[in-house]
């Protein structure tokens, strides 16, 4: 037929479609372009031509052709689906989402469209939206291990570990040889102190891939939870032998070494923290000279507000070497640090960095050399805004009598490993405070729905909820000095209390963040603060018994 009718559009279309299925997009384009010339109003030809351009690595051209296809066949789900895929290729996820949703309007049970929407939303940080799409996938194609794993990871990232565990156990039972699923389940088991079961799963994965640095880090995290810090350090070090740039291995090693008092080596690994990776090549990271007389040093901040307040402790040691120091913190704390007089000059973070040296505040302990300066400088005082303090004093007095006791139970961000999350059970805080005299003030940032009500119910008396003060750190600073007692996990309020020369009672989950050390009833960075530690088996009774006793002092 092609010999007698070389321009016959239908035959050319068929040949082009075959070539496309055979992963030969260039020849597919040749046939489909000729078919298009013979039948320019055929939307199906244009749909396949657009798909061929995409397969050939020309997504921009694919987008153009597929728009033409849709103009000719507006009800063709294949045209929309290929267009959405092309939008993904060019990096336009907003248009991709919009177009995938048009596919779903035409074909509600389109598994691939739901799956890609779920992935885009997950990657964009829309956990609820992604979870909804993955749950639809689980309905359309039940017992797909990859979907179950994706759902589990999202639940775990939101702190719903029990729910995540259920999905992961289903995924592992359906795909017992998948080491990613087994490792994810082991992560949750380790986080919930079922370390032996977690290690069994990890070992199965390591038997298959013994040089996987991710798995080695996971094992390090697991044994760190139960307090075996020496073995944890060995696992992190082995991971770094395999991948010297492994971020999680550096993070785990830094935390364990610092919490063990091995400051010189710990701060070296702390240089690889994620908060500074993007700017690492643009700052000075060589250790300071002992004499910096006349050197202009700009210190930029790369972490959260509490960390910025904390690492500013090292600026006086830098000034003592003769440097003139400009500190660039978050604008929200610039005024208070200016009042503290911690640096020669305080300018907001958005100010262009200028100086003979530009360094990160979190690098200061390493740059100064832990053997050359006090490795744990004590807190400095931050003067409060008197008018803020008086307003809050009136509010506290109107609500209830002193002693005024502040409380928080969570800090950080939930995630699969829970590495940045510091949390203790709400009910245990309430029970410990039930017999404490005075007035309880809740200062919990982003409390979950109904959480404060449950705390109040267990406490058995009304509380003053001042959680909204987290929106203005000057208010938090004012409150921190007014509170007679403060109990909670380590957070910004802990740093502000120290800056007001006040002590706290801190509940420390396992593994301990480095500032709270692996052992001991006090921290060298917060010498007046009492530490109440979670037990190696994950239980809290000893910590909260200690808190209850402390509140009676």
pLDDT tens-digit map of 19-44: 999 999 999 999 999 999 989 999 99
Q: What is the pTM of this model?
A: 0.85
Q: What is the pLDDT of residue 360?
A: 97
Q: Which two tokens stand for residue 426?
A: 């709400």
Which homologous superfamily is 386-551 in?
A: Glycogen Phosphorylase B; (3.40.50.2000)
Burial of 11 (0-12, 13-18, 19+ CB in 10 A): middle
d(CA 257, CA 252): 9
Element spanning 359, H or E: strand 357-360
Radius of gyration of the chain (CA): 29
Instruction: Kindly report the three-state secondary structure assignment for every residue of 217-272.
Output: HHHHHHHHHCCCHHHHHHHHHHHHHHCCCCHHHHHHHHHHHHHCCCHHHHHHHHCC
Q: Which CATH architecture has domain 1-91?
A: Alpha Horseshoe (1.25)
Burial of 52 (0-12, 13-18, 19+ CB in 10 A): buried
pLDDT, tens digit, 9 for 90 and up, residues 92-134: 999 999 999 999 999 999 999 999 999 999 999 999 999 999 9
d(CA 442, CA 439): 10
Indicate the average pLDDT of the chain: 93
Q: Is the model's pLDDT at 1 over the cut of 50?
A: no
pLDDT above 60: residue 419: no
Closest CA to 154 of 114, 181, 125, 175: 125
pLDDT score recorded for residue 77: 95
**What DSSP character marks residue 505?**
E
Q: Is the CB of residue 4 less than 8 Å from the CB of residue 20?
A: no
**Distance in angstroms (rounded) separating the CA atoms of residues 477 and 473:** 6
Residues 138-166 pLDDT 10s:
999 999 999 999 999 999 999 899 999 99
Structure tokens at 406: 């502040």
Q: What mean pLDDT is predicted for residues 266-281?
A: 93
* Alpha-carbon span 236 to 452, nearest angstrom: 38
The string of pLDDT tens digits covering residues 379-408 is 999 999 999 999 999 999 999 999 999 999
CA 52/CA 170 separation, integer angstroms: 38
Q: 189-262 falls under which CATH superfamily?
A: Tetratricopeptide repeat domain (1.25.40.10)
Nearest to 479 by CA among 439, 434, 524: 439
Give the pLDDT score at 413: 53
* Residue reference for tokens 């044994």: 223
Closest of 323, 454, 458, 478 to residue 404, by C-alpha: 478
CATH of domain 278-368: 3.40.50
DSSP letter assigned to residue 151: H
Q: What is the pLDDT of residue 416?
A: 45
Least Cα distance to 345 among 312, 378, 368, 367 occurs for 312
What is the 3-state composition of the chain as percent helix, strand, coil, each rounded to the nearest 5?
A: 60, 10, 35
Query: How many C-beta atoms surround the C-beta of residue 299 within 10 A?
Result: 30
Token pair recorded at residue 463: 């509380």
- CB of 500 closer than 8 Å to CB of 384: yes
Nearest by Cα to 474 from 367, 294, 338, 301: 338
Whether 1-91 shares its CATH topology with 189-262 is answered: yes
| Element spanning 99, H or E | helix 93-106
Cite the beta strand spans of 374-413 per DSSP E: 404-407, 410-411
d(CA 302, CA 278): 10
Query: Cα 114 to the chain's mean position, in Å?
Result: 25
The domain locations on the chain are: 1-91, 189-262, 278-368, 386-551
Per-residue pLDDT reduced to its tens digit, 361-374? 999 999 999 776 67
């Amino acid at each position: 037929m092609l010999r007698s009718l070389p321009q016959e559009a239908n035959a050319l279309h068929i040949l082009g479609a075959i070539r496309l299925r055979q992963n030969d997009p260039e020849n597919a384009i040749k046939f489909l372009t000729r078919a298009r010339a013979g039948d320019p109003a055929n939307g199906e030809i244009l749909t396949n031509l657009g798909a061929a351009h995409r397969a050939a690595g020309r997504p921009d051209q694919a987008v153009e052709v597929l728009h033409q296809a849709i103009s000719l066949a507006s009800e063709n789900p294949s045209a929309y689906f290929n267009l959405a895929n092309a939008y993904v290729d060019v990096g336009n996820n907003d248009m991709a989402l919009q177009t995938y949703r048009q596919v779903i309007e035409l074909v509600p049970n389109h598994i691939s469209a739901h799956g890609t929407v779920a992935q885009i939303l997950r990657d964009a940080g829309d956990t609820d939206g992604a979870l909804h799409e993955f749950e639809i996938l689980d309905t359309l194609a039940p017992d797909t291990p990859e979907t179950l794993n994706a759902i589990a990871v999202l639940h775990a990232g939101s702190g719903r570990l029990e729910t995540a565990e259920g999905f992961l156990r289903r995924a592992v039972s359906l795909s017992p040889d998948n080491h990613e699923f087994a490792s994810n389940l082991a992560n949750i088991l380790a986080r919930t102190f079922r370390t032996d079961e977690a290690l069994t799963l990890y070992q199965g994965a390591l038997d298959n891939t013994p040089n996987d640095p991710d798995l080695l880090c996971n094992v390090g995290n697991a044994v760190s939870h139960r307090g075996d810090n020496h073995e944890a350090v060995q696992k992190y070090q082995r991971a770094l032998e395999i991948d010297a740039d492994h971020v999680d291995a550096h993070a785990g090693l830094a935390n364990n070494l610092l919490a063990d008092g091995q400051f010189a080596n710990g701060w070296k690994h702390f240089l690889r923290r994620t908060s500074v990776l993007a700017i690492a090549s643009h700052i000075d990271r060589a250790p300071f000279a002992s004499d910096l007389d006349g050197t202009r040093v700009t210190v930029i901040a790369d972490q959260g507000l509490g960390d910025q307040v904390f690492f500013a402790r090292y600026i006086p040691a830098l000034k003592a070497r003769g440097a003139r120091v400009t500190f660039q913190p978050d604008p929200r704390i610039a005024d208070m640090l200016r009042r503290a007089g911690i640096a020669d000059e305080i300018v907001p973070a958005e100010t262009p960095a200028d100086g003979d040296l530009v360094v990160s505040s979190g690098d200061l302990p390493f740059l100064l050399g832990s053997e050359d300066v006090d490795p744990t400088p004590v807190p400095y005082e931050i003067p409060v805004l008197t008018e803020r303090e008086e307003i809050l004093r009136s509010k506290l007095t109107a609500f209830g009598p002193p002693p005024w006791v502040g409380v928080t139970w969570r800090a950080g961000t939930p995630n699969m490993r829970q590495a940045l999350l510091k949390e203790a059970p709400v009910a245990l805080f309430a029970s410990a405070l039930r017999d404490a005299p005075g007035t309880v003030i809740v200062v919990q940032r982003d409390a979950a729905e109904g959480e404060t009500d449950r705390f109040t119910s267990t406490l058995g008396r009304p509380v003053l909820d001042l959680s909204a003060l987290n929106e203005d750190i000057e208010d938090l600073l004012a409150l921190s000095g007014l509170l007679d007692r403060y109990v909670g996990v380590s957070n910004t309020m802990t740093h502000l209390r120290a800056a007001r020369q006040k002590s706290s009672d801190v509940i420390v989950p396992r593994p301990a963040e480095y500032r709270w050390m692996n052992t001991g009833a006090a921290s060298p960075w917060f010498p007046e603060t009492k530490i109440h530690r979670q037990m190696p088996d994950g239980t809290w009774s000893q910590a909260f018994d200690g808190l209850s006793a402390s509140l009676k002092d």
